[in-house]
Structure 1
Amino acid sequence: MAYQKNQTTNDEILILGFEGLSNYKIPLFLLLLVLYTFTSTENFLIIFLVSKNPRLHSPMYILISNLLFCEVVYTTDLVPLMLHHILAERAVIYHLGCSLQLTISGGVTVVETLLLMLMSVDRYLAVCKPLRYSVLMHNRLCLSFVIAFWLISICTNIVMFNFVIHLQLCGNLSIDHFYCDFTPLVALACSDITPLVSFALATSVIATIAPFVIIVLSYAAIIVEILRIRSSTGRQKAFSTCSSHLLVVSLYFGVIIVFYVVPRSSHYLYVYKAMSFMSFGVTPMVNPIIYTLRNKDIKKALRITINEIKHQFIDTENS
């Protein structure tokens, strides 16, 4: 049994997603590197601003900073290895590494979906229950939810990893994708995949479909409430409080819906790869811009932080 386990975890899996792009290795490498560097920098900058400025210690910004942290973890789980695979003569990942990459990205996705759900509820309370908002949604409750989401993700990860690492792989061990994805990995299995697929399906229903329904219901109630406001200025002000989050949710679930709808056949493989690239290359970079582009609090916090750094630098030089 020990021999079978070692043999399984040491199986080499070829990553074929970059094979047709051999003529564009350097531009693709530089593009991914720039996107990853910019994404990590802007996400950590906003997280730093939220943690440093007491004015931003509110449920909305706690949720935003956790969401952006998820984006950093997600891209770090995928992109650095992709950069290596682009330049490598033979892009290979071991079964153990594939299992870790798959479960980490899946676990972060669970947290991100639950955070988006809680953010929609937060916006519902802010628009529809403004007088009771501070009672119904406060920092301690928000932090409790966030901790619970991460604990749920960790427990899900442990179970998923246990299933994936014990898969017996056979045949042509190759995945025609940029990273280790669930469906092509399961297709390589020659052992019973029923428990794994059942658990993945249950997780998808609980952690993706159910939050999506709650988000839709929350925004339906928000839209109804906004339409009841008589003045156009009032409607615009109410809508501006949730427009950024609505755009992020639309991008996030738009990509997920395409993943579920597009068939996994060779005819649609380029569409699937393009949407995957958007999920790990574009969306994590765009989300911080969406949240901060029209956000006066973040801009003010950035100005204050820059001024503090300038004063500290001037004081250091004078001393």
Structure 2
Amino acid sequence: MTHQMNQTNFVEILILGFENLREYKIPLFLFLLIIYTCTCIENLLIIFLVNKSPHLHSPMYFLISNLLFCELVYTTNLVPLMLHDLLLGRGVISYLGCVIQLNVLGGVSNVKAFLLTFMSYDRYLAIFKPLRYSTLISNRLCLYVIILFWLISFLSVAVVFYLLINLKFCGPVSIDHFYCDYTTLISIACSDISVLMIYVLVISTTLTLGPCLLIILSYVFIIVAILRIKSSSGRQKAFSTCSSHLMAVTLYFGTLFGLYVMPRSSHYLQLYKGLSFVYFAVTPLLNPIIYTLRNRDIHKAMKMTISKVKQYCTTKVH
């Protein structure tokens, strides 16, 4: 069997993509291009505003800008290649490129889960200990914590990278998805995948379920703290400080949980693809909207920036 195995470095993977929607490839391409363009503009704009507006230099906005940076990396890792494959009807990617794509997805997903957890803690402190908030959390502390998150995530996916890059395949490799789906990939490998499966199960459970449970615990304390506030206006103000984050958490973990529990049989494949599309392409589009729709500080920063641009243009004209 060994002599029939392809050398991993020379394996090319056929990505079938939206093969059953070939007649709609132009509308799909335009739809995805609009989503990706809007996603990039939204995320980059908010990151720029947080960086340039002094009144947004607070831990909450620092964490939000880092989360949106993750969203930008996340969607850029997938969508440009999806756009390319849509035009061709199907795509081909090298095995190394596939493994890199998978590890970027996994690494950024870990950091996003960590950030959402730390943001829950930030909201807990803002509501539960408002007087000590500025002494308990700062931008410098957030920076150190985020660096730690990236290090943990890098180390966890580095092991996955090593295990994946050493897999062997016995013949042509094709994946009926629009990206390198991990489950499909390992199911068609010829070499022993037991170590890889156990490691990924432990890591994904620890780094996904762990943060999810911590977030739930944080919101239990937050709800208790809000209910203790006597005035209705005070309760409403306290809830508004964490409602955006709660929506983002629900969207992220709800979609992710749906992907985990959905059967991978052929009967549910199109539904699985659709949910994956929402998770990978639509969520990065919605998060900036969720965090800015009712945020007065962001609106103020945007108005100030527009005013400065108008002033600059007027000065240039004259």
Relative distance call for 1:39 and 1:90 in structure 2 (3 A) is: closer
Do 2:8 and 2:169's aligned partners in 1 also have CA atoms closer than 8 Å? Answer: yes
Q: How far off is 1:78 after superposition?
A: 0.4
Deviations 1:6-33 (A, max 9, x none): 9312211111231101010000000010
CA distance in 2, matches of 1:313, 1:225: 49
Residue 166 (structure 2) aligns with: 166
How do residues 1-319 of structure 1 correspond to structure 2 at under 5 angstroms?
A: 7-318=7-318
Deviations 1:159-192 (A, max 9, x none): 2211111111224411111100110011111111
Q: How far off is 1:230 after superposition?
A: 1.7
Do 1:5 and 1:166's aligned partners in 2 also have CA atoms closer than 8 Å? Answer: no
CA distance in 1, matches of 2:89, 2:292: 40
Question: What is the one-letter code of the residue matched to 2:136?
Answer: L
CA distance in 1, matches of 2:280, 2:253: 14
Do 2:226 and 2:238's aligned partners in 1 also have CA atoms closer than 8 Å? Answer: yes
SS, match of residue 93 in structure 2: strand
Unmatched runs of 5 consecutive residues or more in structure 2: none
CA distance in 1, matches of 2:170, 2:233: 63
Runs of 4+, deviation exceeding 4 Å: 3-6
Percent identity, aligned pairs only, is 60
TM-score (norm 2): 0.96
Do 2:22 and 2:89's aligned partners in 1 also have CA atoms closer than 8 Å? Answer: no
Q: How far off is 1:45 after superposition?
A: 0.3
Deviations 1:121-179 (A, max 9, x none): 00011111111111111111111111111122222232221111111122441111110
Deviations 1:34-60 (A, max 9, x none): 100000111000000000111111110
Do 2:17 and 2:90's aligned partners in 1 also have CA atoms closer than 8 Å? Answer: no
CA distance in 2, matches of 1:65, 1:4: 49
Bigger mean CA deviation after superposition, 148-157 or 67-76: 148-157
Question: What is the one-letter code of the residue matched to 2:85?
Answer: H
CA distance in 2, matches of 1:50, 1:310: 20
SS, match of residue 256 in structure 1: helix
CA distance in 2, matches of 1:4, 1:242: 56
CA distance in 2, matches of 1:168, 1:4: 10
Bigger mean CA deviation after superposition, 8-17 or 285-294: 8-17
CA distance in 2, matches of 1:252, 1:301: 27
Do 2:15 and 2:178's aligned partners in 1 also have CA atoms closer than 8 Å? Answer: yes
Do 2:8 and 2:165's aligned partners in 1 also have CA atoms closer than 8 Å? Answer: yes
Do 2:5 and 2:170's aligned partners in 1 also have CA atoms closer than 8 Å? Answer: no
Do 1:111 and 1:153's aligned partners in 2 also have CA atoms closer than 8 Å? Answer: yes
* Pairs aligned (count): 316
SS, match of residue 211 in structure 1: helix
Do 2:6 and 2:168's aligned partners in 1 also have CA atoms closer than 8 Å? Answer: no
Relative distance call for 1:4 and 1:10 in structure 2 (3 A) is: farther
CA distance in 2, matches of 1:235, 1:270: 43
Question: What is the one-letter code of the residue matched to 2:96?
Answer: L
Deviations 1:92-136 (A, max 9, x none): 111111101100111100100000000000001111111111111
Do 2:58 and 2:139's aligned partners in 1 also have CA atoms closer than 8 Å? Answer: yes
CA distance in 1, matches of 2:4, 2:302: 55
Question: What is the one-letter code of the residue matched to 1:196?
Answer: L
SS, match of residue 13 in structure 2: strand
Do 2:117 and 2:215's aligned partners in 1 also have CA atoms closer than 8 Å? Answer: yes
Do 2:4 and 2:170's aligned partners in 1 also have CA atoms closer than 8 Å? Answer: no
TM-score (norm 1): 0.96
